[in-house]
Each structure stands twice: as C-alpha cells, then as structure tokens.
Amino acid sequence: MNIEALPVAPVILSAASVGGLVLADQMQFRPGRYLCKPLAALAFLWLALALGAMDSSYGRWLLVGLLLCMLGDLLLMPEDERCFLAGLVAFLCGHLLYAVAFLQLGASPIGPVVSALPCLLLLVLTYRWILPRVDPPMKGPVACYMWVITGMLLCASLTLRHPASLLIIAGAWGFALSDLAVARQQFIKASPRNGLWGTPLYFFSQMVLAASLAMVQPG
C-alpha cells in the first residue's frame, strides 16, 4: 500500500480526539480526558490494523508495542504514583517491542553511525536534567527507561535504507521527545503547558509509526 492511500477514518479520529484531549487537559476537565485519551489510542491501533499489521513480522511486533503503549496511556490517566510506575513499565516494554519490530526490516550500518551522537546527547542531557529530581525509589526505573529509549532510537536508525525508514525514525524520535513532557510533568514542574506540545507530539508519533506499515511488504 502507498502512503498516499492511508485510511481517512482513523486519521480523523486521531485528530479529533487529540484535539479534545488537549482542550480537556487545559481546562482540567477530567471526564473529557477519560473519553478522549482512549479514543486517541484506539486511532493508532485502528490505523495499524487497517494497514495490515498482522500480515508481516514487523507489523505484528509493532502492533503489540502499540497495544502496550495504549495500556501505558490508560495507566497514566489516574495521576497516581503506582499507576505511573505501571505505565512506565508498559511504555518501556512498548519501546522494546518497537526495537524488535525495527530489527525485522534489516540492518543498515550507516544508521547507528549517524544517530549515535544525537542519541548520546539526548541520553546525557536527559540524565542531567531529570535524574537528580527523581525520588530515590524511582531513579532505577527511570534510568532504565532512558537506556531503553536510546536503544530503541538506535534500532530505528538501522532501518535507514528501508522505504519506511523516514516514518520509522521520525516516529521513534517524536515518541522519545514526547516523553520529556511526561517527565517534566511528573518530576520537574506539573503544568497544563506540558501537554500542549507533549500530547500532540506523542499521538502524532504513534500514528506515524502505524503509518509506516503502508511501506512494508507482507511476509
């Protein structure tokens, strides 16, 4: 399938639900959050399935990763520390499964060479910015999460010569950068402004990763 032939319905659902979610969060209208966030997650699952996620090994690994990210979305809604930790684990597993999915598309040695420095910079800057502000019981899980994100980004870069690489790399980096909004909200400064950019970037990145299936052959 060509990228121009993306199903319109899940894209419309994503745009509408993400817009509603951002508005609900800015107004601190919790019922709107509980309605729009699951719908926004359903949109990227719908897009992946519509593009034949079950027809390739890449698609199947990606689909399970998307499901885990949806679980993480649901777990982060209550704003409870235990739910946050469970959501962190769900997203961590999602990142790992994305990495496995990317490895199904072959390996370009050029990709990691190009991306190694940006990945290292992101890891170091995030470590110095976030980790000192994390409570001791959470330092280990958060540090582990940072390393897993870095590994996922490096695996995304291995797809450099694949037709879907632009979407994969853009989606992976968008996902990683959107996590900074979540980290700032949880550990640095809670503010509705974090969601103004973090929420759209996260859901857009998930849709982009789902859309990459349009460039992957069945098998």
d(CA 83, CA 61): 25
Ranges of residues in the chain with a pLDDT under 50 are none
Q: Which letter does DSSP use for residue 51 in this model?
A: T
| Coil, helix or strand at residue 73 | helix
What are 134-143's pLDDT values in tens digits?
Answer: 999 889 999 9
Distance between alpha carbon 100 and the CA centroid of its chain, in Å? 14
Q: Which structural domain range is residue 199 located in?
A: 3-215
| In contact, 34 and 56? CB cutoff 8 Å | no
| In contact, 62 and 101? CB cutoff 8 Å | yes
Please report the pLDDT score of residue 122 as a whole number: 94
Counting the structural domains of the chain, the total is: 1
What are 73-102's pLDDT values in tens digits?
Answer: 999 998 788 898 999 999 999 999 999 999
Please report the pLDDT score of residue 4 as a whole number: 61
Angle at 199 between CA 58 and CA 84, to 5 degrees: 85
Please report the pLDDT score of residue 1 as a whole number: 55
Assessment of whether the complete model's pTM goes beyond 0.75: yes
